[in-house]
């Protein structure tokens, strides 16, 4: 079967998942390209996807798929639609996230024909304590593009999607249980902040607002993606957590993407 349409669905607060999704799509070399960015909002209505090879890319938080991404993916429905679930993690481990994503999209009607786990700069990475800084880099994106080419070869050889079984990936069920989350959010250096409100625009959970003339982040809504920290044009946002030092000390050695395709 040959697919002329590719659909990208991604949740990508710090742009790493989107970069990988685009690189895979480049390798597919199809005629028509659609995208649905669920980073800031879910679709208002159920989106039915048919006859479109679909790449679904999301970040890993604590060894699981980001909960906000799982919630927003429920707005999609498919019928025997080939999909490529992709998770992007911060160089520690993706644990059960890829299996969780494959299971999730299968319940929505997609058939995972290939899957991958790529590395992106960790949300907690800092200049003085880098954790996969700058990734995905050129080598990662090249692997993603080559992966896209392999995927197209596979789907082009499929005679009937009804007869194909889903690709098997690493991971366990029941999925890894997340530890208790401590409500915390980035803080603003008011001496640097110009109240441009860009952080409000890019926050995926609308956790940031202006209160009494200063930026306020609601720790109950914050998912600690650190998009506001990485993208603040004035460098006025910081997120202090002891996990940064731990991750830098224990997970700085380069890891490579893991790809699953029959």
Q: What is the pLDDT of residues 8-56, one digit of tens each?
A: 999 999 999 999 999 999 999 988 889 999 999 999 999 999 889 999 9
Among 80-84, 179-183, 198-202, name the one with the lowest average pLDDT: 179-183
What pLDDT was estimated at residue 3? 79
Is 3.40.50.360 the CATH classification of the domain at 5-175+253-261? yes
The answer to whether the peptide bond before residue 136 is cis (omega within 30 degrees of 0) is yes
* Residue 208: pLDDT over 80: yes
The CATH number of 187-240 is: 3.30.70.20
* Residue 105: pLDDT over 80: yes
pTM: predicted TM-score of the whole model, two decimal places = 0.95
Q: Quick one: 41 exposed, middle or buried, by C-beta within 10 A (0-12, 13-18, 19+)?
A: exposed
Same fold across 5-175+253-261 and 187-240: no
Give the mean model confidence (pLDDT) for residues 56-67.
96
Q: What is the average pLDDT value for the chain, to the nearest integer?
A: 94
- Could you give the percent of the chain with pLDDT greater than 90? 85
* Residue 262: pLDDT over 90: no
Q: Which residue ranges make up each domain of the chain?
A: 5-175+253-261, 187-240
DSSP labels for 11-53? --TTSHHHHHHHHHHHHH--SEEEEEE-SS---SSPEEE-S-E
Q: Could you tell me which residues are beta bridge partners of residue 61?
A: 64
């Amino acid at each position: 079967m040959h697919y002329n349409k590719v659909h990208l669905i991604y949740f990508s607060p710090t742009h790493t998942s989107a970069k990988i999704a685009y690189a895979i799509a480049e390798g597919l070399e199809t005629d028509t390209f659609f995208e649905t960015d669920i980073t800031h909002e879910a679709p208002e209505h159920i989106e039915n996807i048919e006859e479109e090879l679909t790449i679904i890319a999301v970040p890993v938080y604590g060894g699981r798929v980001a909960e906000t991404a799982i919630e927003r993916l429920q707005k999609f429905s498919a019928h025997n639609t080939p999909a490529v679930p992709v998770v992007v993690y911060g160089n520690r481990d993706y644990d059960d996230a890829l299996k969780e994503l494959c299971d999730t999209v299968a319940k929505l009607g997609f058939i995972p024909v290939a899957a991958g786990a790529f590395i992106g700069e960790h949300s907690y990475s800092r200049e003085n304590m880098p954790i996969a800084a700058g990734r995905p880099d050129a080598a990662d994106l090249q692997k993603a593009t080559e992966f896209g080419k392999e995927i197209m070869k596979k789907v082009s050889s499929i005679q009937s999607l009804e007869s194909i079984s889903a690709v098997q990936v690493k991971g366990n069920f029941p999925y890894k249980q997340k530890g208790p989350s401590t409500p915390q959010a980035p803080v603003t250096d008011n001496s640097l902040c110009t109240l441009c409100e860009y952080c409000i625009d890019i926050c995926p959970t609308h956790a940031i607002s202006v209160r009494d003339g200063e930026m306020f982040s609601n720790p109950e809504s914050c998912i600690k993606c650190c998009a506001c920290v990485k993208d603040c044009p004035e460098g006025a946002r910081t997120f202090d957590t002891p996990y940064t030092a731990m991750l830098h000390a224990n997970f700085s050695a380069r890891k490579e993407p893991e790809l699953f395709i029959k």
